[in-house]
Amino acid sequence: MSDITVIGTGYVGLVTGACFADLGNHVTCVDINPTVIDRLRRGEMTIYEPGLDDLVERNAHAGRLAFTSSYDEGLARADFAFVAVDTPPGTEGEADLASVRRAAESIAHSMRGPLIVVNKSTVPIGTGDLVAGIIQRTNGSVPFGVASNPEFLREGSAVNDFLHPDRIVIGASDPAVAEKVRGLYATLDCPILITDLNTAELIKYASNAFLATRISFINEIAAICAAYGVDVKTVSRGMGLDKRIGVSTLEAGLGYGGSCFPKDIQALEHMAAIQGLHPELLRAVMEINRDQRRLVVQRLRDIFGSLDGRHIAVLGLSFKPNTDDVREAPALAVIRLLQAEGARVRAYDPVAVPAAQRLVSNVEFADSAYAAAAGCDALVVATEWNEFRQLDLGRLRESLRCPVVIDGRNIYDPTDMARLGFIYRGIGRGYDPIDQALIQSTTLAAL
């Protein structure tokens, strides 16, 4: 058993701390926000992540998981200090390392014995050396090592991803440090790749960039599908059956969001640009992703013309299902675009309403999908929650003022929707030209 300190209690930090505790270690999570620590000590979850609440409760009760806002207390017995703090985008798209720098300085001031500092945050190439330099200058009398151990956790399945990983990457300049970090994962059955610091840091960025590229690629194909009357879901399935390609992240829709992909693609593009390179592919990935949000407005304009005064329901606010994270969520971008067109928006999400309320204004929030749809001129599916897949579509049609559904996640079958009398538009589903007569008769009847 090791004594582990985790700096930061966000999505990465809290999952990392709880999972390491569940593997039998003694873990102390440190956060400089005392309100967050007080809530966690009371057993209140500060983020929504399936399975995490039980994990935290069980390990806290067993005495393996503790929380503090004091670095001195958190590092009193530590063998390892995992840094899991935010690295938000800076003004030029670069990763802002202010929190990483502060964490390194605080660790250096508080460490009392030999310590291995592990960067868990997604950080630019060279950050491991930066952290080592800060610690050496601040407290060079205490032996320490630095490693990079990037996280590959997906929000909504982060606990499973930690305990059943595809791979573990550990970067260090000292092989002995890398082996000690490897030992923390000895009970997990997966490949472990040992590299230098810079390589480990780049593996994380390259992985996220590739996944984002797949998403933008299939959205580009979806646009071609729409132009030629082809269903992108069938194209995606046909592609995915090739073992070299696979089906993962080949779902057309409103694009990627969240706290990782948007900032990481920007940061990688910035790293390339400052070296005099020309990362056109990364820039295209970001541009395609931005364009996907505008498709909702375009589809609604095709149907209604002006959206001024129209009431639009939006289902889903989190950037993906099974999380309450609304950072860079496509839904919020869609809401702002609709409001700019003069539309009035009513929205619903199973868990993300409180988070969304802090970021968007002049939105009416409903307590169910049917309440959101009631009396609206159209409904937009922005997040593919399973709850939305299982809606009573007949009841949904009766709730809407006009039976218009813009399916931004392609969760419904176009044939079924047409049979039920919906005017249905997905992303790249291969429609015939819009039947203006049907739209006119349907919308006029609702006026």
Domain C-terminal end among 170, 195, 220: 195
In a domain, residue 274? The reply is no
Q: 252 in a domain, yes or no? A: no
Instruction: Please tell me the distance from the alpha carbon of residue 315 to that of residue 321, in angstroms, as a whole number.
Output: 11
For residues 20 and 128, membership in a common domain is answered with: yes
Same domain, 178 and 297: no
438 belongs to a structural domain: yes
Asked if residue 390 has pLDDT above 50, the reply is yes
Q: Residue 152 and residue 39: Cα distance in Å, rounded?
A: 26
Q: Does one domain contain both 186 and 301?
A: no
Q: To the nearest whole percent, how much of the chain has pLDDT over 90? A: 94
Is there a domain that residue 327 lies in?
A: yes
Residue 8's contacts (CB-CB under 8 Å, 6 or more residues apart) are 29, 30, 31, 83, 84, 85, 86, 99, 103, 121
Give the pLDDT confidence score for residue 340 in this predicted structure. Answer: 97
Work out the average pLDDT over 384-389.
Answer: 97
Same-domain pairing of 182 and 292: no
Over residues 78-97, the pLDDT tens digits come to 999 999 999 999 988 899 99
Residue 316 has pLDDT above 70, yes or no: yes
List pLDDT tens digits, range 59-68: 999 999 999 9
What pLDDT, on the 0 to 100 scale, is given for residue 438? 54
Q: Is 389 inside any structural domain? A: yes
Q: Quick one: 402 and 296 in the same domain?
A: yes
Tell me the sheet residues that pair with 346. Answer: 313, 364
Whether residue 47 sits in one domain with residue 188: yes
| Alpha-carbon gap, residue 218 to 240, rounded angstroms | 11
- Check residue 443 and give its pLDDT: 52
Note the pLDDT of residue 414.
94
Determine the structural domain holding residue 115 and report its residue range.
3-195
- 260 pLDDT higher than 80: yes
Which structure tokens are listed for 24? Answer: 């039998």
Decide if pLDDT at 439 tops 80.
no
Domain CATH number, residue 69: 3.40.50.720
Q: What is the pLDDT of residue 235?
A: 97
Rounded to the nearest angstrom, the gap between the alpha carbon of residue 123 and the centroid of all alpha carbons in its chain is: 16
Question: Is residue 17 located within the same domain as residue 156?
Answer: yes
Give me the pLDDT at residue 430, please: 81
Question: Do 190 and 306 have their domain in common?
Answer: no
Cα distances (angstroms) measured from residue 406 to each of 23, 84, 118, 427, 429: 45, 38, 45, 8, 11
Domain closes at, from 195, 217, 241: 195
Average pLDDT of the segment spanning 252-268 = 94
The string of pLDDT tens digits covering residues 93-147 is 899 999 999 999 999 999 999 999 999 999 999 999 999 999 999 998 999 999 9
Mean pLDDT computed over every residue of the chain:
94
With respect to residue 269, please indicate whether it lies within any of the assigned structural domains.
no
260 part of the active site: yes
Strands 363-365 and 115-119: unpaired
Residue 43 included in any domain: yes
| pLDDT reading at 54 higher than 60 | yes
Q: How far apart are CA 368 and CA 51, in angstroms?
A: 23
- Per residue in 94-104, pLDDT tens? 999 999 999 99
Domain count, the chain: 2
Q: How confident is the model at residue 259 (pLDDT cuts 50, 70, 90)?
A: confident
Tokens representing residue 344 in the block: 């009035």
Q: What confidence tens digit (pLDDT) does each residue in 202-212 have?
A: 999 999 999 99
10-22, pLDDT tens digit by residue? 999 999 999 999 9
pLDDT of 436 over the 90 cut: no
Both 190 and 311 in one domain: the answer is no
Note whether 160 and 294 are same-domain residues: no
Given a cut of 50, whether residue 433 has pLDDT beyond it is no
Residue 325 has pLDDT above 70, yes or no: yes
- Cα angle at 327 between 324 and 329, to 5 degrees? 85
Contact status, residue 98 vs residue 50, Cβ threshold 8 Å? no
Q: Model pTM greater than 0.85?
A: yes
Q: What is the mean pLDDT of residues 153-182?
A: 97
d(CA 318, CA 156) in angstroms, rounded, equals 11
The pLDDT value given to residue 51: 95
Q: Are 336 and 309 in contact (CB under 8 A)?
A: no
Of 153, 176, 195, the residue at which a domain comes to its end is 195
Q: Which of 19, 225, 260, 402 is catalytic?
A: 260
Does 276 map to a domain?
no
pLDDT at position 1 is: 86
Do residues 39 and 184 share a domain? Answer: yes
Q: Give the pLDDT mean for 297-323.
A: 96
Q: What percentage of residues in the chain have a pLDDT greater than 70?
A: 96
State how far the Cα of 86 lies from the Cα of 258, in Å rounded to an integer.
13
In this structure, are 42 and 178 located in the same domain? yes
